[in-house]
Each structure stands twice: as C-alpha cells, then as structure tokens.
Structure 1
Amino acid sequence: MTDIDPRLDLTLDRVIRAPRDVVWRAWTDPAQLAQWWVPAPTVARVEKLDVRPGGAFVTSMSDDGSAFVPHTDGVFLVVDDGARIVFSNAIDSSWHPASPEPVAMTAEIVFDEHPDGTEYRVVVRHADPATRDRHEQLGFFDGWGAVTQALAALAESRAA
C-alpha cells in the first residue's frame, strides 16, 4: 500500500470474517461482484471485468432491474493476485482519458490476512482536496460502507 494523504484520500477499513481467497473471488468473479457492487436496492450488471493490469472494469446499474445506466468505466492498473487491486476511472475501458466528472479517482483495495479472516482496506485517491471533499459530500462513506457491508455479507455467507 502506498502512503495515505488525508488531504487527497478517503479510506475505509474493515475485517471481513472470511478467508482472503473468498473475499478476492467476490471481487474478481463477475456474478459475485454484481451482487454487492452498488448499494441496494439498486442492482449492478457487470459488463466487463478483465482483472489484469490494463484490463477493463465496466459496470452499469439500475433502480428497477431493467433500465441500466453506466456506473463504472475504468481500467485496472495493478493486480497482485489475492492481495491487491488498483483501478481508476480517470482512464476509461477503451484507454481514452475520461471526463473528471462526477469524480475522477484511483482506488486501491488491499486484502490482508487477519486472525478473524481478511483485513480489507480501501483507499480512494483524488487529484486535489476539492475533488476529495466533493466525493465525501456525494456520500463516499455511506456508499462505499454499504457496498463493503454487502461484500462482507456475501463473503461471510460463502465461508460459512
């Protein structure tokens, strides 16, 4: 994990009571990712999930389960199998510069061993303090907290 700059970065930490490989699969299997990637009752659809450096990460979301709109369109920058995923939406899945709106970011997800399962850490990095603050005001902690809770519930149910 790289250093955290509180002026630019938002973080979330949680212990998930499931083995690291189970949590990793929930992130890297499209069917599992779709179950937790957006806060309920909104549903996600995984369009592309090529979990390798340079691979596409594209999802859409729907409030009614039928009309889907774009959600995530980015690329994976770093994939350390079973340990770390870094992706960004600043470059879209076709490798073109993306619009900075609504919030351009780079997210680092770290999966570490923990006596109770997996230590799960999210660091979302922003270009400047204003963008970081905007992301926080848009509901970073509620949104990422809700999806992390859903990820934990899925992984813990699979580990039981």
Structure 2
Amino acid sequence: MTDVVFNPLLDLELKREVAVPPGLVWRAWTEPELLMKWFTPAPWRTTACEIDLRPGGKFRTVMEGPNGERNDSTGCFLAVEPERRLVFTDALGPGFRPTGGGFMTATVTIEPAAGGTLYTAVALHKDEAAKKQHEEMGFHHGWSAALDQLVALVKGL
C-alpha cells in the first residue's frame, strides 16, 4: 500500500513527537492487553480488543462510556509494516469483506526521532460531512488524549 496523500478537505491529522521509543509505541498499538489501557480517552474505556495483525486481519475494539454508551467497532487491517505503520478501516471487515458502511480509514505512522518517536495519525473520510462529524466528535482532543495515555503507559513498561 502506498503512502496516504493528505487531503485537508476530507482528512484529519494528529502529528506529534513523543518521548518514547518507536518499539514501545508499536507494542501499544499491536498488543490487545496494552491497547485496552490507552486507546479510548478517559472517562471512556476500551473493554475488549481483538487484533489479527496482518492485512485482512480483524481489528475490533469495544469502547464504553461513563453513562453506559457502547461502541463496538470491527474492521480490518489494510497494511501492517512492523514498527513503522498500521493502516486500518471500518469500511471492511476481516478478510476484506465489505461491511456496508464504515466511518473512516486510519493510518498510524511511527518514525524514529531524536526525542523518541514522530507519531502521525491520519483519519481519512469519504466526504466533508464525515470529516466534520469526526471533528465535532472531538478528533483532535480525543486522539491527542489517547496518545498522552499511550505515552504514560509505555513509560511504565
């Protein structure tokens, strides 16, 4: 899979250097027991996670909110480049089976940097309305808070 071309009309991006090694960021994204501890910004929690780390493999998370809200999302990985990049979507399920819906495709890039890791997350949307919906859901705050939680977690490993 080629690199994603960012379209500011359709896409959202979080790019930050974090003071943890790339290998630990990779582990946090690819080990279900670690991902469940940081993936959803508090006070939400990730209560279940399944990862089949290969193209076409399942990526499922269950997120639960403080008032009983529940979001069960199943998608698949499109690309897996160990310790460098993950691409996943909810538009396709395991084995690349169409789901009939889907909200986004995401790319997480992990690059070595002088201070640790240059972390880039890009969320691709089908149209401007979907991008706006994701922004209004709190993409920038939520993904940034989740990244802070990831950093705090892996510093303790």
Shift in Å, 1:86 = 0.2
How far apart, in 2, do the equivalents of 1:49 and 1:38 lie?
16
Residue 24 of structure 1 aligns with an amino acid whose one-letter code is: W
Question: Is the counterpart of residue 142 in structure 1 residue 144 in structure 2?
Answer: no
| Residues 115-144 of structure 1, C-alpha deviations (whole Å, 9 max, x = no match) | 011110001001111211121112111211
Question: Is the counterpart of residue 38 in structure 1 residue 40 in structure 2?
Answer: yes
How far apart, in 2, do the equivalents of 1:152 and 1:70 lie?
24
Alpha-carbon contact 1:110-1:120 (below 8 Å) kept: yes
Question: Is the counterpart of residue 87 in structure 1 residue 88 in structure 2?
Answer: yes
Alignment of structure 1 residues 9-88 onto 2, 5 Å: 9-63=11-65, 69-88=70-89
Alignment of structure 1 residues 110-125 onto 2, 5 Å: 110-125=109-124
How far apart, in 2, do the equivalents of 1:72 and 1:15 lie?
28
How far apart, in 2, do the equivalents of 1:86 and 1:137 lie?
23
| Residues 69-116 of structure 1, C-alpha deviations (whole Å, 9 max, x = no match) | 33321100000011000000111347232424xxx1000000001001
Q: TM-score scaled by structure 2?
A: 0.89
Alignment of structure 1 residues 98-117 onto 2, 5 Å: 98-100=100-102, 104-117=103-116
How far apart, in 1, do the equivalents of 2:52 and 2:31 lie?
10
Gaps of 5+ in 2: none
Query: Secondary structure at 1:107's aligned position in 2?
Result: strand
Q: TM-score scaled by structure 1?
A: 0.88
Shift in Å, 1:68 = 7.9
Alpha-carbon contact 1:92-1:98 (below 8 Å) kept: no
Alpha-carbon contact 1:60-1:68 (below 8 Å) kept: no
Shift in Å, 1:41 = 1.9
How far apart, in 2, do the equivalents of 1:137 and 1:83 lie?
29
Instruction: Give the RMSD, CA atoms, in angstroms.
Output: 1.9
Residue 55 of structure 1 aligns with an amino acid whose one-letter code is: G
Residue 72 of structure 2 aligns with an amino acid whose one-letter code is: H
Provide the identity percentage.
36
Shift in Å, 1:45 = 2.3
Alpha-carbon contact 1:89-1:98 (below 8 Å) kept: no
Q: Number of residue pairs matched? A: 154
